[in-house]
């Protein structure tokens, strides 16, 4: 769900102003930042009034003329001067979590740092309250952000900031520029020209505008607001993706009120945040389409105008979107088709976009497996789909489309900008909005402009666009070892850009499991030294200035701080030089043990451990293994020489093993090498599926001697090893903090069997089955006329009935959907194929972004009346959908599994799940001895409390968006392999 609720009210006020920023938010003028500058905060009596550049953004060769207004009351004797000090937000260690500044898009505002020595410029101060011009203020020509501090003896007062930025690259367009803007900065019509000019100077050529049907009931269209917008942006090379959203009140079915949606009986008639529908009566759709055509005719101008494309609604989530969408997907499809046909009647080159997340796009437009809507959509849009969750570009590629991320808003520092943009573009996004404008600028006392003085993110944005515009992401240069190098531009492009990081940052969080090589990525420290005696590599800093000039050896920290690199001989020569860089002091390897494929007391049992060298040079190492009591290894140590980026599998045979009832064996691993040492611990399991015919009756007696996996949802890390060594009954006696469960699998020639017993003290057993549900019951009907609060609402609308709006949700759908229930939820990875998606492992390492690693996915859950239901969520040929009410379906689709046998029983706080999935259902899984497959398991908690996830602490898994539904939540991937045995 978007964090931008504050802006959505603008939909009701057609283009008057975009939503203003929250007044309490500040990105720069904060007590801690003033302390860094050793000055008092800005004063209305000593006021900075403006400059000769839009939003205080200057090119390097421009003179800086500022206007200052000093009140008579502020007059003091002595000399006055302006101190000019470069400020940055480039140090990750200077983030202060308790700073008073906070923005909901980027978290706590950053603490500034000081760069270089200040310049002091004497001025003559006139204390008459009028603005006086100080010409040719000696702001350095170096790119960056400069604080202006007014100095009078020991008195120091902050005035403002100004930015020096590189000129935009020639030939930039909306489609070849990485950073996409946001219209909300255009909050005052009288400043539209200035805002557009500021975006132009930052190299921004496109932005998103949320607007709606600007026509009155009598058919008169008011183009005043949009004319003013398009006139301003047109003069500055900016185009708009126009998100068409909530419509005029006269067009609503219950005009002048919005249609109440999924609200409770105590609803206070507040129509915001998904509580009401803001869309027109469907009878008016044809008229709406004519207005869209008129809009396109007015602003497209044969491709030379400010219009680039239309998006159908902002975040139209099922059950009630925050922007006033509360209809079913059938209505969305009608409007999508209407927008496309109405716009393409003017020109088929006008882009048609949808639907604020790839899961939303698939749900609404491609749920039946057909390509019907390919002609009604050109661009797939995402919101907040971070790299570990990102798969929209893969789906877009499969449909011959492109994908963009238009509401990410995680950047509030310089160093986060290249980190995030590089990762998103490597994940396949064509462009993105990495920030909200309120982290770009701040306000001064006595000035009504909320976007007045620039933060360092402005200079960072301009620098990135100037270097990357026109140069698409090509590849991660080193696919299996450090450092992280992202290439923009072709191999033969001598002006290509490489962005180097010693470590990646998790976008929107701090979990290294969302990144590849979690053990190495989660470790800090180290340096990288690059030989550059011949000056082959040219380094630039975050603002675009030359850096490390003349250094024969360039030493960089192995942290999340970026370096921009160009090479006059092109990326190939640069790659060879960077591959020879010497990395020291960094954890060298990932240690990746694999669970046992045989019982530990069985002949031939061994533990296999993969070791991945993440350094860019060969290392000579040894791996030592310390097994738990009861297990003896033939040899506890093995030589492990590794080439750069190599992964080597080492097998340690067991000479004896004693099985324990918990099937939990804590191992410790120690790697030593000439490149550094590394340790790792993990509780290993026997991951086998024995041959057994199971009677599915819910009592689990047939499972007694089959090894199971015990998982606790929320344990302190220190407790994990000890607690998971305990068998199920012992664990119950310990009452750990959180839900926990035990999982087992078996097979015969007819079925794959799965069972679980889950301690869950918040039962959810009263929900009906999904199959055969009355889908219309989720939407309004005449029956709602006599139910509160709808009954009271209708008193204002005599002669109307809720039967008129059978497409608007009247109750939320999530409460009964399969992935929001108490459930046993499984995913199977049985083939190397991605079915409908094409791997892009020629551009990025496998697992860099979300990986569709599940071939089959099922949920077993209790239903009212003591029943249960086994639901197919995914199988080869089944579209990725969520089964919302009124979901279109194709011939191959989700639904109850034919022939499945299942029981869910509850006793006290414990669920007993048991099911048998027929082999006819699992066509790609060979039910024969020796078959291996990846497995994901979740004991889902639909009530209060956490889910129980299998694999969350396994080295061979990573956090992945596509493993299990829903795809907007992280789950462990299917990295653990299970084996069918006798």
Predicted local confidence at residue 16, as pLDDT: 32
97: confidence class by pLDDT, cuts 50, 70, 90: low
Q: How far apart are CA 603 and CA 536, in angstroms?
A: 58
Lowest mean pLDDT among 141-150, 501-510, 670-679, 696-705: 501-510
CB 408 within 8 A of CB 434: yes
Q: How far apart are CA 689 and CA 599, in angstroms?
A: 11
659: confidence class by pLDDT, cuts 50, 70, 90: very high
Coil, strand or helix: which one is 747?
strand
Predicted local confidence at residue 21, as pLDDT: 38
Instruction: Give percent of the chain with pLDDT exceeding 70.
Output: 94
Higher pLDDT, 785 or 717: 785
Q: How far apart are CA 323 and CA 279, in angstroms?
A: 10
Average pLDDT over residues 949-978: 95
Per-residue exposure over 904-935, b if at least 16 CB sit within 10 Å of its own CB, e if not: bbbeeebbbbbbbbebebbeebebeeeeebbb
Average pLDDT over residues 90-96: 77
Predicted local confidence at residue 719, as pLDDT: 54
Question: Which of 735, 722, 712, 718 has its CA nearest to residue 683?
Answer: 722
State yes or no: pLDDT of 479 exceeds 90: yes
User: What DSSP element (H or E) covers 592?
Assistant: strand 589-594
User: What DSSP element (H or E) covers 260?
Assistant: strand 259-260
Average pLDDT over residues 422-431: 96
938: confidence class by pLDDT, cuts 50, 70, 90: very high
Predicted local confidence at residue 17, as pLDDT: 33
pLDDT per residue over 263-279, tens digit each? 999 999 999 989 999 99
> What is the DSSP-derived secondary structure letter of residue 550?
T
The two tokens of residue 87 are: 């400020």
**What does the longest C-alpha to C-alpha distance in the chain come to?**
96
535: confidence class by pLDDT, cuts 50, 70, 90: very high
**DSSP calls for 602-660:** STT-EEEEEEEE-SSS-B-EEEEEEPPTTEEES-SEEE--B-TT-EEEEEEEEEEE---
Q: What is the 3-state secondary structure (H, E, C) of 448-500?
A: CCCCCEECHHHHHHHHHHHHHCCCCEEEECCCCCCCEEEEECCCCCCCCEEEE
Given CA atoms 373, 377, 381, 385 in this order, what sign does their dihedral have? positive
State yes or no: pLDDT of 7 exceeds 50: no
> Phi, psi at residue 402, to the nearest 5°?
-120, 160
CB 835 within 8 A of CB 875: no
The two tokens of residue 655 are: 């000479």
Predicted local confidence at residue 722, as pLDDT: 57
State yes or no: pLDDT of 519 exceeds 90: yes
Q: How far apart are CA 237 and CA 558, in angstroms?
A: 39
Predicted local confidence at residue 697, as pLDDT: 96
pLDDT per residue over 67-89, tens digit each? 999 999 999 999 999 999 999 99
Average pLDDT over residues 298-323: 95
Predicted local confidence at residue 728, as pLDDT: 62
Predicted local confidence at residue 816, as pLDDT: 84
pTM for this model (two decimals): 0.94
Predicted local confidence at residue 835, as pLDDT: 80
pLDDT per residue over 100-140, tens digit each? 766 666 677 889 999 999 999 999 999 999 999 999 999 99
Average pLDDT over residues 141-169: 97
pLDDT per residue over 379-405, tens digit each? 999 998 999 999 999 999 999 999 999
State yes or no: pLDDT of 834 exceeds 90: no
18: confidence class by pLDDT, cuts 50, 70, 90: very low
């Amino acid at each position: 769900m978007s964090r931008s609720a504050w802006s959505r009210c603008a939909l009701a006020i057609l283009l008057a102003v975009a939503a203003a920023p929250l007044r309490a938010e500040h990105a720069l003028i904060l007590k801690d930042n003033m302390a860094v500058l050793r000055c008092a905060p800005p004063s209305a009596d000593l006021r900075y009034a403006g400059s000769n550049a839009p939003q205080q953004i200057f090119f390097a060769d421009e003179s800086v003329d500022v206007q200052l207004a000093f009140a008579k009351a502020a007059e003091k004797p002595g000399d006055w001067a302006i101190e000019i000090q470069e400020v940055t937000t480039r140090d990750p260690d200077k983030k202060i979590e308790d700073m008073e500044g906070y923005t909901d898009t980027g978290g706590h505002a950053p603490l500034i740092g000081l760069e270089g020595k200040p310049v002091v410029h004497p001025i003559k101060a006139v204390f008459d309250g009028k603005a006086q011009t100080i010409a040719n203020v000696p702001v350095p020509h170096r790119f960056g952000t400069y604080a202006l501090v007014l100095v009078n003896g020991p008195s120091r007062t902050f005035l403002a900031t100004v930015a020096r930025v590189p000129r935009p690259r020639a030939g930039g367009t909306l489609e070849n520029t990485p950073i996409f803007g946001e219209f909300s900065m255009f909050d005052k019509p009288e400043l539209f020209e200035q805002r557009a000019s500021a975006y132009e100077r930052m190299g921004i050529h496109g932005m998103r505008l949320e607007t709606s049907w600007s026509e009155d009931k009598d058919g008169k269209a008011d183009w005043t607001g949009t004319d003013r917008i398009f006139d301003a942006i047109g003069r500055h090379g900016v185009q708009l993706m126009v998100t068409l959203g909530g419509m005029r009140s006269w067009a609503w079915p219950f005009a002048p009120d919005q249609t109440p949606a999924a609200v409770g009986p105590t609803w206070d008639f507040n129509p915001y945040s998904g509580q009401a529908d803001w869309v027109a009566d469907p009878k008016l759709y044809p008229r709406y389409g004519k207005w869209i055509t008129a809009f396109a005719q007015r602003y497209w101008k044969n491709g030379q105008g400010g219009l680039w494309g239309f998006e159908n609604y902002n975040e139209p989530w099922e059950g009630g979107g925050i922007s006033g969408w509360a209809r079913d997907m059938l209505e969305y499809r009608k409007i999508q088709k209407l927008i496309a046909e109405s716009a393409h009647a003017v020109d088929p080159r006008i882009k048609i976009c949808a639907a604020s997340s790839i899961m939303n796009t698939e749900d609404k437009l491609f749920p039946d497996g057909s390509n019907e809507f390919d002609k009604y959509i050109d661009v797939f849009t995402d919101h907040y789909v971070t790299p570990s969750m990102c798969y929209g570009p893969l789906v877009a590629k499969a449909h011959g489309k492109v994908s963009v991320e238009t509401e990410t808003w995680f950047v509030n520092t310089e160093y986060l900008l290249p980190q995030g943009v590089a990762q998103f573009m490597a994940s396949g996004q064509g462009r993105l909005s990495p920030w909200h404008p309120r982290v770009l600028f701040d306000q001064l006392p006595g000035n009504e402009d909320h976007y007045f003085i620039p933060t360092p993110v402005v200079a960072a944005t301009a620098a990135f666009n100037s270097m990357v515009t026109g140069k698409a992401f090509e590849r991660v240069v080193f696919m299996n070892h450090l450092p992280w190098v992202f290439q923009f531009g072709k191999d033969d492009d001598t002006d290509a850009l490489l962005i180097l990081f010693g470590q990646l940052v998790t976008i929107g969080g701090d979990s290294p499991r969302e990144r590849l090589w979690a053990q190495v990525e989660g470790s800090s420290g180290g340096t990288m030294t690059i030989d550059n005696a011949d000056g082959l590599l040219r380094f630039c800093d975050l603002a675009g200035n030359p850096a490390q000039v003349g250094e024969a050896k360039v030493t960089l920290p192995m942290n999340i701080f970026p370096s921009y690199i160009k090479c006059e001989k092109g990326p190939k020569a640069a790659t060879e030089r960077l591959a020879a860089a010497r990395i020291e002091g960094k954890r060298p390897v990932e240690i990746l043990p694999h669970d046992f494929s045989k019982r530990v007391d069985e002949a031939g049992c061994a533990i296999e451990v993969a070791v991945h060298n993440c350094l860019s040079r060969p290392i000579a190492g040894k791996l030592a293994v310390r097994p738990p009591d009861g297990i003896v290894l033939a040899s506890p140590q093995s030589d492990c020489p590794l080439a750069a980026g190599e992964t080597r599998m080492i097998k340690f045979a067991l000479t004896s093993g004693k099985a324990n009832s918990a099937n939990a064996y804590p191992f410790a691993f120690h790697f030593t090498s000439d490149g550094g040492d590394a340790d790792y611990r993990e509780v290993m399991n026997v991951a086998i599926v024995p041959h057994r015919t199971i009677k599915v009756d819910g009592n689990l007696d047939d499972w007694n001697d089959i090894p199971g996996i015990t998982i606790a949802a929320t344990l302190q890390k220190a407790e994990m090893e000890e607690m998971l060594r305990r068998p199920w009954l012992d664990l119950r006696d310990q009452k750990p903090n959180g839900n926990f469960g035990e999982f087992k699998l078996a097979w015969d020639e007819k079925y794959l069997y799965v069972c679980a017993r889950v301690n869950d003290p918040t039962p959810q057993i009263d929900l009906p089955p999904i199959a055969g549900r009355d889908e219309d019951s989720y939407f309004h009907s005449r029956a709602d006329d006599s139910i509160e609060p709808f009954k009271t609402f209708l008193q204002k609308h005599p002669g109307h009935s809720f039967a008129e709006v059978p497409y608007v949700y009247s109750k939320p759908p999530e409460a009964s959907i399969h992935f929001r229930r108490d459930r046993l939820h499984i995913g199977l990875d049985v083939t190397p194929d991605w079915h409908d998606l094409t791997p892009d492992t020629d551009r990025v390492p496998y697992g860099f972004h979300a990986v569709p690693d599940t071939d089959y996915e099922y949920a077993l859950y209790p239903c009212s009346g003591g029943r249960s239901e086994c639901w197919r969520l995914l199988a080869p040929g089944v579209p990725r959908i969520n089964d919302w009410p009124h979901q279109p379906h194709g011939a191959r689709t989700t639904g109850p599994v034919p022939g499945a046998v299942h029981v869910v029983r509850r006793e006290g706080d414990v669920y007993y799940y048991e099911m048998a999935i027929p082999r006819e259902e699992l066509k790609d899984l060979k039910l024969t001895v020796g078959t291996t497959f990846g497995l994901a398991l979740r004991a889902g908690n639909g009530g209060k409390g956490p889910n129980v996830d299998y694999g969350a602490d396994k080295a061979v898994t990573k956090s992945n968006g596509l493993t299990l539904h829903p795809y907007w939540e992280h789950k462990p991937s299917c990295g653990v392999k299970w084996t069918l045995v006798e």
